[in-house]
Amino acid sequence: MDYSTFTNILNRQIFECSKRDLIEKISNYPDRYIGLFRPTKPKAKIMQNLLQSNEIRFGDALEILFYKYFEQLGFINLEKRIGSGREYLDLDQIFKSKNSIYFIEQKVRDDHDSTKKRGQISNFEKKINALLTIYDEKELKCYTYFIDPGLTKNKKYYIHELDKIQSDYNVFTKLCYGKEFWDEIDHPGVWEELLKYLKCWKNEIPDMPSINFDDDPENTFEEIKDIDVSIYRKLFDNSDICNEILPILFPGKKVLKLLFNFFNEKENQGSIYKALSSKIEKSLKT
């Protein structure tokens, strides 16, 4: 995979729509940011939320990257959603190679607590059980794969549980960390490329995400302008948000001005747009 494709996937999945998501969360759950019974001020909470969101999105981005890698390596990616009726299961990765079907339950790191590790195994078994209604047990190769080799907190537990699943279902299972999985499919070079690209990419991204949305007002406006009007109504009706949160996100009020003009131009499409432009105008005057 070329480096630009690699970074485009990461940047798009992690950073695009992060501002939109944050605004929706603030509107829907304002007490998480401005509640009195919190040890953090709104600015710190906003930063914490963005950092946590980026961590989650990083795992999603790696799923997309690996899917692309499998495709480029000549494997046949299969339908990830399986099941019928009311219950569907979404697989992290599933692809075909010659006479084998590879199913991978993929996570970034093995640092789960006791509840999550049990849920991980339960989910893994449920998916294997569903796959056995589609594929022969001799075809399946099932992996629990943790990408970060530096964290192996529950290794003994997973090995023990996967051995039991293998024995009871008569299906191949294996636990892998880091490079081990790519060795399993005879493509160790992918791991080396992944490490090389990630190091370069991390040198390019900022140390901390910006919470000043006015730094790039036009792009911010394009990202958030089509948020549901009910979200904006709750946002601008909440005086605490207007007084404590909006000055952090829009200190120069550049994006707010763009939103005001946008809703003002849509007044003939419904009373809600006139109401929103009026609410934003109040924020612009404070």
CA 27 to chain centre: 20
Residue ranges of the domains in the chain? 3-61+207-285, 74-186
- Per the CB < 8 A criterion, the answer to whether 36 and 247 are in contact is no
pLDDT greater than 90 at residue 181: yes
How many other C-beta atoms are found inside a 10 Å radius of the C-beta of residue 282?
10
DSSP 241: I
Q: What CATH number does domain 74-186 carry, 3.40.30, 3.40.1350, 3.30.70, 1.10.3430? A: 3.40.1350
- Per the CB < 8 A criterion, the answer to whether 111 and 153 are in contact is yes
Among the listed ranges 27-41, 94-108, 149-163, 172-186, which one has the minimum average pLDDT value? 27-41
Tell me what percent of the residues of the chain surpass a pLDDT of 70: 99
Q: What is the pLDDT of residue 84?
A: 66
pLDDT tens column, 73-119? 999 999 999 976 678 899 999 999 988 999 999 999 999 888 899 99
pLDDT greater than 80 at residue 150: yes
Q: CA 47, CA 174: separation in Å to the nearest integer?
A: 38
Structure tokens at 99: 């006479």
Q: What is the pLDDT of residue 112?
A: 86
